């Protein structure tokens, strides 16, 4: 009986010693800043979760090119509209049903296609697929520019980023600013991964920065616009252009339609704006965006008195 108790005591002491060793090592890691196995360990996961969305459709070359780069930095979950949803902004499907469909990308990897909008891709990813928030959202690579306030509010790419920002998830939106978007859907199928490589590299570096250091203060979305014929290392921090679209509609027999989209048709603006940086300087534009509208309540003081019953 005494021998059995001694064995139990020895076993308990060994367990305690083992636990103490792990505790000392954990404390050493914390105090000395020793890196975990993954350089981007976040929120208790072995690797950060990066949610990849676009508005050009799940088989877009822009999405596949971006995915290859992001896989070096974390676990990439692709959730994107089944078909192109350009120009739909942050719209939600208020009628009918939205389905989640499993698909295979060109590289054979699993992805999720939805029959809804880019903003819904975020909402369904968080609430139905992941059932948690990702560490970062990347929207793109969009085939075409997203410049100025009109594109900011109309773009499906930025619509996904806005939905993420509203839910306090850091977001990076990236667009490849071709000089001319043709009035034929098939033109996007001719864009190659090689053409998008520099855009993907720039975005990879931005994602790596955010994963290491977090989003910069007072920034919810980083909007990146990369021009064709990018000048190496020419990157400028810009503000949104607040000049809206001109006459973008072309008369057809059936009515009016937005025809070809030409970069040069964006309204000229001053130096320091995203439009000027891409259009006139041929440089990469990175625009910090804060999703917070000012509310000048004192300006409505007299109105509130006039409306009082």
More confident residue, 8 or 189: 189
What distance in Å separates the CA atoms of residue 129 and residue 111, rounded to the nearest whole number? 11
- On whether residue 61 sits in a domain, the answer given is yes
- On whether residue 254 sits in a domain, the answer given is yes
Domain span at 265: 49-289
pLDDT category, 257, cuts 50, 70, 90?
Answer: confident
In Å, how far are 58, 255, 272 from 246, measured between CA atoms? 31, 18, 21
pLDDT at 5 over 70: no
Q: Quick one: pLDDT at residue 232?
A: 64
CATH number, domain of 127, equals 3.40.1210.10
- On whether residue 262 sits in a domain, the answer given is yes
- On whether residue 279 sits in a domain, the answer given is yes
The total number of structural domains that make up the chain: 1
What distance in Å separates the CA atoms of residue 286 and residue 204, rounded to the nearest whole number? 13
- On whether residue 305 sits in a domain, the answer given is no
pLDDT category, 25, cuts 50, 70, 90?
Answer: very low
* All residues at 6 or more sequence positions from 79 whose CB lies less than 8 Å from its CB, including other chains: 51, 52, 53, 111, 112, 114, 121, 122, 124, 125, 129
- Residue 89 and residue 154 in contact, taking contact as beta carbons nearer than 8 Å: yes
SS3 291: coil
Q: Render pLDDT for 73-84 as a digit per residue (tens, 0 to 9).
A: 999 999 999 998
**How many C-beta neighbours within 10 Å does residue 222 have?**
24
pLDDT category, 10, cuts 50, 70, 90?
Answer: low
- On whether residue 128 sits in a domain, the answer given is yes
- On whether residue 1 sits in a domain, the answer given is no
Ranked by mean pLDDT, the top range of 40-44, 143-147, 177-181, 244-248 is 143-147
pLDDT at 51 over 70: yes
Q: Which of 57-61, 70-74, 231-235, 262-266 has the lowest mean pLDDT?
A: 231-235
- On whether residue 43 sits in a domain, the answer given is no
More confident residue, 262 or 253: 253
């Amino acid at each position: 009986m005494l021998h059995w108790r001694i064995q139990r005591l020895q076993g308990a002491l060994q367990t305690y010693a083992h636990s103490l060793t792990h505790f000392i090592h954990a404390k050493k890691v914390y105090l000395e800043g020793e890196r975990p196995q993954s350089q981007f360990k976040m929120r208790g996961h072995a690797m950060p979760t990066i949610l990849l969305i676009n508005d050009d459709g799940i088989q877009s070359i822009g999405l596949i090119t971006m995915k290859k780069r992001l896989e070096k930095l974390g676990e990439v979950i692709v959730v994107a509209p089944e078909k192109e949803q350009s120009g739909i902004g942050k719209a939600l499907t208020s009628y009918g049903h939205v389905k989640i469909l499993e698909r295979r990308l060109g590289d054979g990897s699993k992805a999720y296609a939805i029959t809804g909008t880019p903003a819904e891709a975020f909402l369904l990813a968080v609430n139905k697929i992941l059932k948690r928030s990702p560490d970062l959202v990347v929207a793109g690579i969009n085939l075409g520019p997203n410049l100025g306030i009109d594109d900011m509010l109309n773009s499906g790419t930025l619509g996904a980023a806005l939905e993420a920002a509203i839910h306090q998830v850091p977001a990076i939106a990236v667009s490849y600013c071709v000089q001319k978007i043709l009035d034929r859907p098939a033109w996007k199928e001719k864009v190659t991964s090689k053409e998008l490589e520099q855009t993907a590299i720039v975005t990879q570096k931005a994602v790596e920065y955010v994963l290491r250091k977090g989003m910069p203060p007072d920034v919810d979305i980083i909007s990146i616009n990369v021009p064709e014929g990018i000048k190496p290392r020419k990157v400028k921090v810009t503000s949104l252009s607040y000049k809206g679209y001109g006459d973008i509609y072309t008369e057809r027999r059936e009515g009016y339609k937005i025809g070809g989209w030409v970069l040069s048709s964006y309204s000229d603006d001053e130096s320091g704006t995203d439009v000027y940086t891409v259009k006139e300087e041929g440089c990469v534009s990175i625009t910090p965006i804060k999703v917070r509208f000012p509310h000048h309540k004192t300006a409505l003081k007299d109105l509130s008195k006039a409306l009082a019953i």
